[in-house]
Structure 1
C-alpha cells in the first residue's frame, strides 16, 4: 500500500483498524479559512493542524517563510491529541493536498510508520456521501516516542554542496515563471538554485485534483531516472511536499525536502542564484 489512499481504500482500512483523521485545510491568502471550514464540517473524529501555527514555527531571518516547527512543541500537540507511534494517521486537505503532504512529511521525519494522505481530500469524501460532522473529538493525552529520520530533510549546506553533484537532482516545484526569475510575487530575489530542474508541483495531479498513478508519475519523472538522490524545494517548503511525496510514490530513491526552500536560500547572500534570460 502506498502513501496515497483513495476514499474507498480508507473505508476498507477502517474495517480492520481505527484511524485518526487529520484535517490540514489551509488557505495561504486567508489563514483562518481552513480552521473555519473545520468547525463547519470535518471527517468524523478528525483533529485540526494549522499550517502556520502547528506545522511551522515563526519565521526568522533564516529558515524561510515556513520553517518546520520546533520538535518539542509539535510532539506536545501530538500527545495532547492522544497520538502515539502506533496511531494510523490519515491527513486530508483540499484537492492537491499541499498541507496534508507537509503533515505527512513531518510525521515521516519523526519516524511515524502509519501515516497516509487521503486522495482528493475533504471534497472527495463528501462527494461520495460519507458522513461529516462539526463535533470535536474528546482525546486522552498520550506519550509520543520520536525516532528522527534525518534522511527525509535536506539542509541549506547540503543543497549548496549538491549543486555540482551530477548524481543529485535538485528539483524546483514552483511554476516556470518563478523558477526562471521572470516573476516573483513573494520573495525578494528572483531565479532558482543553480542546476535545479523545474517540475511544477501541480503536474503530479490530474484535472480533478487527484494524484496521478504510479506509472504516470514514473513517466513524468523519467528524465531523472539516472539520478541517485533528490532534493525538492519550492518557495517556503509547502508546495514542494506533494512533489517530494510523488517522487517517493514513483519509487525514486533518497528523496529529501529542503524545508526552508527558496525563501531560506536567498537569506544567505553567499548562495548563488540563476535566472533564465527572458526571450
Structure 2
C-alpha cells in the first residue's frame, strides 16, 4: 500500500501519485448561488481521472424543511455512490475544490464518518494545483466500480444534544460562518439571522494563509488552543450555516493534532427552523 494521507496533501505530492490505481480523486466544486456551476466547471477541466461529486445530489440527503439546507446523506447511499467512483475501503481518496477546501472538507468529513481514514483535502485546491504547473483534463474517467463497507463513527451530534448542552462546560460550540452572519447581519441564506446562544465564532477562512492554503499545524494548534482555553478538543462541536464549512474547522483541528471534535451537521439552518429554539445576536 502506498503512502497514506489523512488530513491534507500538497499539489506536488498528489501529482506524483495521481495515477496510482489505489488513489481516487474527487472534484467537489460547488457554488451555493449557482448549483450547476460545479459540474459545468468539471466538464471544462479537472484533475486527471477525477470523479465529480455534487454537494446537493451526492454529499447531502433529502431536505424536509426542518433538517437544514444540507442534511447528511443516507450512509448506505453515500457508500454506494463512493463505490461507483471506484472507492474501496483501502483507497486513498483526495478531495479538491476551488474554494479553499470549503466543499472538499465536506467529503473529507463524510468519509471519516463512514470510518474511512485514508482521505485528504488538496491543500490550496485547484488554484494551487494550477500554480504549481499541473495540467487539467476534460476526459471523463472510465467507470471502475468497487465495493465499500461502512463502519459509522460517532463524529456527529444531533440538535437535541446541542439544545441540552447549552451553557454546559462540556460543550464548546464553534460557528464557522463569517463574523457578520454570526452577529445576525447580512443573512441571505437562512430565514433568521443570529447564532446559537453560547457559540463562539471561528470563520473557516481564518484557517488559511495568504495563499489560500491551510496554516502550519503549529499555528492552527496555537489559535484553536486560545479558543479551547484548556478544554479537551472532544468538547468541541462545530457548526456553520448548513454543516459544510464547519467541516473545514474540523479538518483544521485534526491537522493541528487536536483530535476528537464533532460536527452538528444540521447547524444554523436546522436550528433556526424551529422558532422555539433560542437565538442570540451580536458578537457575544
Structure 2 length as normaliser, TM-score? 0.91
Look up the match of 2:162.
159
* Structure 2 unmatched runs, 5+: none
Preserved contact between residue 85 and residue 113 of structure 1 (Cα < 8 Å): no
Deviations 1:226-258 (A, max 9, x none): 122210111111111111211221222421111
Preserved contact between residue 97 and residue 120 of structure 1 (Cα < 8 Å): yes
Runs of 4+ with deviation above 6 angstroms: none
Look up the match of 1:213.
216
Partner SS, residue 189 of structure 2:
coil
Look up the match of 1:25.
29
RMSD, matched Cα: 1.9
Matched residues, number: 277
Look up the match of 1:235.
241
Deviations 1:30-89 (A, max 9, x none): 111111111111111110000111111232122100111122222221122221101110
Deviations 1:188-214 (A, max 9, x none): 222111111111111101122111111
Look up the match of 1:127.
131
* Structure 1 unmatched runs, 5+: none
Q: Return the match for 1:174 from 162, 174, 177.
A: 177
Q: Are 1:249 and 2:249 matched, yes or no?
A: no
Partner SS, residue 221 of structure 1:
helix
Q: Are 1:271 and 2:282 matched, yes or no?
A: no
Which whole-Å CA distance do the structure 2 matches of 1:14 and 1:38 have between them?
Answer: 17
Q: Return the match for 2:186 from 179, 183, 188.
A: 183
Which whole-Å CA distance do the structure 2 matches of 1:227 and 1:111 have between them?
Answer: 26
Look up the match of 1:197.
200
Which whole-Å CA distance do the structure 1 matches of 2:58 and 2:279 have between them?
Answer: 31
Which whole-Å CA distance do the structure 2 matches of 1:101 and 1:258 have between them?
Answer: 15
